[in-house]
């Protein structure tokens, strides 16, 4: 396995965009990459059986521009996860991440996701098998606990057991998951955030690379967590809904590169990608549905959203409609 010091994603880990099912598909990632050249981008979760038995190109293909890009796997069978990791690493992903934080019913029935926090020994076996199969770093995304866990006990025990199996980098969604009675959406909002516990973990385990996730809505907040000593911050919903607020100044402020991204430049930069997608038989909406928040907070933002949401699903919708939407914000 690649050691941490020469990991190809090392520079990118200070800010990442969270894995989000149905949202962070390849088109969304190409869009986010136009806003930040450096942030680490995560795929949606893909289950290990899907990687092994499903339509691999559909599940795993991505554009070279997306690097550094991490694939998130779901699963709890070490051999299956190892096989899926081998396949994904061959596909060129820069990191393979194991989902130990997703509370949805479907995932619970497969005994993976957040329920794995109750079985750290099993997670250790999973990541050992994945690491043996992977030339790139294997990481873990988890919660601070599940159900009636006491997070101050659950989290350190989980992290220590998984770290003893060789994982150096964790992203911690700073709230518990409740496996019964809460929808996945409620599970991202109702269990209270406990940032202090994540900071305490970093203080107690300074050798581990720990990223905080959950409820971070701006780059200012992300930078405040980094300044307090965390190694990385992962932003989910805010990066999707208000991408310029979350990511627009990241290259300049976090990596000291260039000026703040400009949404018009981003919109222009997407055109060749959109044209290629349309030429290959794809639909405009598949890309622009992820871009509705690009002009959030600017005059004309509603018009941009309206023209795209009403028109981009229509047959034949293409760059002419895209320009019409852009005219709403340029006016
Ligand atoms: C639509 C949606 C889909 C999600 N899918 C996944 C997923 O596939 N894997 C995962 O680990 N977390 C998933 N999450 C959780 C996010 O990665 C993140 O942990 C959570 O949204 C908290 O971060 P935020 O407050 O910055 O959004 C999803 C969240 C949303 C909103």
Domain ranges across the chain = 4-254, 263-330
Atom number, ligand 1, closest to the C-alpha of residue 44: 8
Query: Which class for 307: exposed (0-12), middle (13-18), buried (19 or more C-beta within 10 A)?
Result: buried
Residue nearest to atom 19 of ligand 1 (CA): 173
Ligand 1 binding residues, C-beta < 6 A: 18-23, 44-45, 72, 99, 101-102, 141, 173, 188, 213-216, 235-238
The encoded tokens of residue 37 equal 């050249």
Atom number, ligand 1, closest to the C-alpha of residue 101: 11
Active site residue 102: yes
CATH number 1.10.1370.20 is the correct assignment for the domain at 4-254: no
Mutational pocket test of ligand 1: of 16, 18, 235, the residue with most ligand atoms within 8 Å of the beta carbon: 18
Sign, CA dihedral 102-108-109-112, equals positive
The residue with tokens 């690491």 is 131
Question: What stretch of H or E contains 121?
Answer: helix 120-132
Distance CA 164, CA 101 (A): 20
pLDDT at 103: 86
> Ligand 1 centroid vs 76 CA: distance in angstroms?
19
| Contact between 208 and 170 (Cβ < 8 Å) | yes
> Ligand 1 centroid vs 74 CA: distance in angstroms?
13
Nearest to 162 by CA among 215, 116, 219: 116
pLDDT at 180: 84
Please state whether beta strands 209-213 and 232-235 pair in parallel, antiparallel, or not at all (unpaired): parallel
Distance CA 248, CA 272 (A): 21
Torsion of CA 283, 288, 289, 295, to 10 degrees: -170
The encoded tokens of residue 23 equal 């949202």
| Contact between 194 and 154 (Cβ < 8 Å) | no
Per-position b or e across 145-183, b if 16+ CB within 10 A of its CB: bbbebebeebbeebbebbbebebbbbbbbbbbbbbeeee
Asked if the bond preceding 309 is cis, omega within 30° of 0, the reply is no
> Ligand 1 centroid vs 152 CA: distance in angstroms?
22
pLDDT in tens, 27-46: 999 999 999 999 999 999 99
Using pLDDT thresholds of 50, 70 and 90, give the confidence band for residue 258: confident
User: How many other CB atoms are there within 10 angstroms of residue 121's CB atom?
Assistant: 10
Nearest to 271 by CA among 319, 326, 308, 238: 319
pLDDT higher than threshold 80 for residue 183: yes
Nearest to 232 by CA among 63, 47, 95, 28: 95
- Is 173 annotated as belonging to a binding site? yes
pLDDT in tens, 41-66: 999 999 999 999 999 999 999 999 99
Distance CA 166, CA 154 (A): 19
56 — alpha (psi -120 to 50), left (phi > 0) or beta?
A: alpha
Cα separations in angstroms, 90 against 94, 136, 158, 258: 10, 10, 29, 33
Q: Which of 28, 100, 102, 142 is catalytic?
A: 102
pLDDT in tens, 91-106: 999 999 999 999 876 6
The residue with tokens 């990632």 is 29
In whole numbers, what is the pLDDT of the chain averaged over residues? 94
Q: Collapsing DSSP states into helix, strand and coil, what is residue 14?
A: helix
Distance CA 141, CA 74 (A): 11
Distance CA 231, CA 210 (A): 5
> Ligand 1 centroid vs 90 CA: distance in angstroms?
26
| Contact between 306 and 288 (Cβ < 8 Å) | no
Mutational pocket test of ligand 1: of 20, 45, 123, the residue with most ligand atoms within 8 Å of the beta carbon: 20
pLDDT in tens, 198-245: 999 999 999 999 999 999 999 999 999 999 999 999 999 999 999 999
User: How many other CB atoms are there within 10 angstroms of residue 330's CB atom?
Assistant: 13
Query: Which class for 203: exposed (0-12), middle (13-18), buried (19 or more C-beta within 10 A)?
Result: exposed
pLDDT in tens, 272-320: 999 999 999 999 999 999 999 999 999 999 999 999 999 999 999 999 9
**Interval 188-204 mean pLDDT:** 96
- Is 21 annotated as belonging to a binding site? yes
Say how many residues make up the chain. Answer: 331
């Amino acid at each position: 396995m690649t050691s941490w010091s020469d990991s190809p994603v090392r520079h990118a880990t200070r800010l990442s965009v969270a894995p989000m099912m149905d949202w962070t598909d390849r088109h969304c990632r190409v869009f986010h990459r136009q806003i930040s050249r450096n942030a680490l981008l995560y795929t949606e979760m893909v289950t290990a059986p899907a990687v092994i038995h499903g339509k691999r190109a559909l599940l795993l293909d991505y554009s070279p521009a997306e690097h550094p890009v991490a694939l998130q796997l779901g699963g709890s069978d070490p051999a299956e996860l190892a096989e899926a990791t081998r396949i994904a690493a061959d596909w060129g992903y820069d990191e393979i991440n194991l989902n130990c934080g997703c509370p949805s019913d479907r995932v619970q029935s497969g005994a993976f996701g957040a329920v794995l926090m109750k079985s750290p020994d099993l997670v250790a076996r999973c990541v050992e098998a994945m690491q043996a199969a992977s030339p790139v770093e294997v990481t873990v995304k988890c919660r601070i606990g599940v159900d009636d866990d006491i997070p101050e006990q659950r989290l350190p025990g989980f992290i220590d057991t998984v770290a003893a199996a060789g994982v150096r980098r964790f992203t911690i969604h700073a709230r518990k998951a409740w496996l019964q009675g809460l929808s996945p959406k409620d599970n991202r909002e109702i269990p209270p955030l406990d940032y202090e516990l994540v900071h305490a973990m970093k203080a107690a385990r300074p050798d581990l690379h720990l990223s905080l996730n959950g409820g971070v809505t701006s780059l200012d907040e992300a930078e405040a967590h980094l300044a307090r000593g965390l190694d990385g911050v992962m932003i989910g919903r805010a990066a999707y809904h208000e991408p310029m607020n979350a990511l627009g100044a990241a290259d300049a402020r976090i990596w000291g590169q260039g000026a703040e991204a400009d949404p018009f430049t981003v919109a222009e930069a997407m055109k060749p990608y959109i044209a290629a997608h349309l030429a290959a038989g794809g639909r405009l909406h598949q890309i622009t549905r992820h871009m509705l928040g690009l002009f959030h907070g600017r005059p004309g933002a509603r018009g941009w959203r309206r023209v795209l949401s009403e028109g981009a699903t229509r047959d034949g919708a293409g760059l002419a409609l895209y320009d019409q939407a852009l005219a709403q914000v340029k006016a």
